[in-house]
Amino acid sequence: MDRKMNRRDFVVGGAMAGVAATLPGSLQALELAPRGPAVIVRSAVKPLVISAANGMRSRDAAGKSAVEKAYEMIVGGSDVLDALIAGVNIIELDPKDTSVGYGGLPNADGVVQLDSSCMHGPLKRAGGVAAIEGVKTPSQVARAVMNETDNHLLVGAGAQDFARRLGFEILPDLNTPESRRLWLEWKRRTDSEHYPDPKTRATVGMQVGLQMVREGLIEAEHYYGTINCDGINARGDICGVTTTSGLAFKIPGRTGDSPILGAGLYVDNDIGAAGSTGRGEANLYNLASFLIVENMRRGMTPKDAGLDALRRIKANTIEKRLLNSRGNPNFYLNFYALNKRGEYAGLSMYPARFAVCDERGSRLEDTVPLLTGSATD
């Protein structure tokens, strides 16, 4: 780390010394330990939270959206990851959101299986769960994996057992009447075996699901629906969380990009954070969140770093079943990226929106799309 100090750092450092004096003893010791010049903060940034567009949709009892809740907690001094998880909990607990947590669209057997991961930049720790059943807030279990174990990822029944032993409420079924109704409709329309001949697989399961999207039964964003939420505080501490019910009507056990570090989420506290929503398989093949952070490490802006990753994904999408009539990817995939300076961007294969909350308040902004039109053109 460059220990040279400019005037702005010095002024900020002076201000932060007062803040440090109010910290608990152990943290004060960390903050005030001599390490070069007698300043504490490298540089100050404006706190910021970004997320998928659904971070502006669900509301808690106080009327706050996920990004608003997380931002409020960050400026109030909460740990950045705790704030982000409190934000996405609002969506996980919203029965009306059919893409995340409770009420998420179930797998092909009608069982809701959830994925989540989180990364804590300053602590350099991470945790995740995949295909966990019965817990409404998988992001909290992911954080418990991070905090309570030496592991990064627990899956399936093991993840549920872990949650049960830590006192999480385990429900027999996370379906809502709406998610069950949509699953029944999907089931009615598809081959009951769900393992079609490879030659015809593009014409069943997935196509029926996408037809239900076209008919307006399922929101396009909810088909692979997910929320990724990333934030930075005034000290430049960066964290991220991603949580999802994954691909609607997936093969039981299918896990997407969300719980996989480097795919659905990646954070490096010295560089920035990136996370995704959309077709997890396309992201998993390219580990694009890691790629975006590495691009930023090489000096790219969040926007250029994300567009470069989308170009890579497009180039690696060659199977006909994944291409539309224009020869472009026939799926949606979005990234949300921020860097150490608090610069940010939403990037997407096709035009989309994403949520932002900073000192100017919360809002939806347009992503920067790689392609025009839509996935189904």
Q: What is the smallest separation between the CB atom of 62 and ligand GLY, expressed in angstroms?
A: 28
* Cβ proximity of 369 and 354 under 8 Å: no
Q: Give 309's contacts (C-beta < 8 A, 6+ positions apart).
A: 286, 288, 291, 292, 295, 335, 347
Q: What is the smallest separation between the CB atom of 265 and ligand GLY, expressed in angstroms?
A: 11
Concerning whether 98 is annotated as a catalytic residue, the answer is no
Q: Give 294's contacts (C-beta < 8 A, 6+ positions apart).
A: none
Q: Which lies closer to ligand GLY via its Cβ, residue 259 or residue 342?
A: 259
CA proximity to 142, closest of 123, 163, 158: 163
Q: What is the smallest separation between the CB atom of 332 and ligand GLY, expressed in angstroms?
A: 10
Q: Which lies closer to ligand GLY via its Cβ, residue 275 or residue 302?
A: 275
Instruction: State how far the Cα of 326 lies from the Cα of 94, in Å rounded to an integer.
Output: 37
Q: Give 231's contacts (C-beta < 8 A, 6+ positions apart).
A: 47, 48, 49, 50, 70, 71, 74, 80, 83, 84, 238, 239, 240, 338
Enter the tokens of residue 191: 């081959």
Q: Which lies closer to ligand GLY via its Cβ, residue 71 or residue 331?
A: 331
* Catalytic option among 22, 149, 200, 203: 203
Q: Which lies closer to ligand GLY via its Cβ, residue 73 or residue 273?
A: 273
List residues near ligand GLY by CB under 6 A: 224, 226, 244, 246-247, 256-258, 277-280
Q: What is the smallest separation between the CB atom of 258 and ligand GLY, expressed in angstroms?
A: 5
Q: Which lies closer to ligand GLY via its Cβ, residue 73 or residue 85?
A: 85
Q: Which lies closer to ligand GLY via its Cβ, residue 224 or residue 266?
A: 224
* 73-94 per-residue burial string, b: 16 or more CB within 10 A, e: under 16: bbbeeebbbebbbbbbbbbbbb
Instruction: Mark residue 127 as left, alpha or beta (left: phi above 0; alpha: psi -120 to 50; beta: remaining).
Output: beta
Instruction: State how far the Cα of 372 lies from the Cα of 235, in Å rounded to an integer.
Output: 38
Q: What is the smallest separation between the CB atom of 289 and ligand GLY, expressed in angstroms?
A: 11
CA proximity to 292, closest of 363, 240, 331, 256: 240
Q: What is the smallest separation between the CB atom of 104 and ligand GLY, expressed in angstroms?
A: 10
| Residues with catalytic roles | 203
